[in-house]
Structure 1
Amino acid sequence: METPILRAGRRALAACPPATRALRSKRRYATAQDDIRAAPPIRFNNNDANQFSRPRAEFIHDDDDAASPRRSRGGHNHHHEIDYFRLLRHARIVPASPSYFTATPKYTDDLLAVSALLRRHELLPVLPPGTAPRVAWKSLLQYKTELAEPIRAKAYAALVQVLRRLNFIHPALMPAEVTAALAKFKRDV
């Protein structure tokens, strides 16, 4: 059995118009957590030219032998040296960009870089609407061909929206890094 209060509440909800566009929150730009930095290079043992040609069994050591000093093939004691066998067992390659694991890493890097530029320079004076210099941006097909990644039209439109906003910065105050970033996406005419 339905109570009159619940029935009235359902009718009121059904009669309400949907939320206006101004009330809905919309995330416009991708945000990077930190600057993108490459992983430091892995330094392996430069003294041992055969470190990768040995069978796997030679890299594995018993943990109960860990207390005893290691001996090389010549019988010399290497107690003061770093145990490269243990380091190699735990070494892993870290990609230079966090977007490596996405389906479109180059596009994601481009979007994050351009969004970071916009965040950095969004307080610069802009031109009035309709007076920004006309720019022929690369088409979606050109951009997809250049990157060799499957980019959707909606994703490319988000990138172009950020580029257009950067293009509205007053030309007398436009930083060189913004000019260089915009030139990367301009169509060769």
Structure 2
Amino acid sequence: MKNQDGCYDKLIQFTKQRGFAFSDKECKLVHALTKHKTVSAHSILMEQGKPVTKFYFLNSGIVRLFRVHKGVDYTLGLVSTNDFVSTLLYLANGLPSSCGLETLTDATLLEWGKAEVEAMKLQLSVAQDLEMAIMDRLLNWLQDHQIDAVCLTAEERYQKLMEQQPEVIRTIPLKYIASYLGIHQDSLSRIRKIVSRKT
């Protein structure tokens, strides 16, 4: 695969970290089926209530998963670089999404439509490995998110976010972090002061 601009490096890294890799022939196929795009902050990648038409791999930037319920915007997840966003299940079935995806920073992405995803499923020998890796990543995230919400305090969840995604803490407005933690922004400010004194 010609990768002079490095736009496929993180995708290749994602597969190798999970114990499989594309052959040279498969790399060329992925390259041919993939659109590389740059989007500005606050672009909507997936719209709540609308059919999912695209699947993405986030090369750089931060994306939030959110849901608007009874007029209130809830941030459910924060994704930062080297991960897939959107859902293969909704893409395959043409189902409307229960959530939305929004870039919180300028972002670079690899993009596939349904036809491109189906072509890769048919022609890549590691397609099942890749799909299982994506599903495993999603299920682990859901499990961790549920456990953290029940077992950890807001301060502990903030500290975990600091450790695992420091770029999120440095980059995005506090209102999104507070929403993700399920607390008021004033409470987040107090937590930040407490954590700052400890460190």
Q: Under a length normalisation based on structure 2, what TM-score does the superposition of the two structures give?
A: 0.21
Structure with greater Cα Rg: 1
Q: TM-score, normalised by structure 1?
A: 0.22
Question: Which one has a larger percent helix, Structure 1 or Structure 2?
Answer: 2
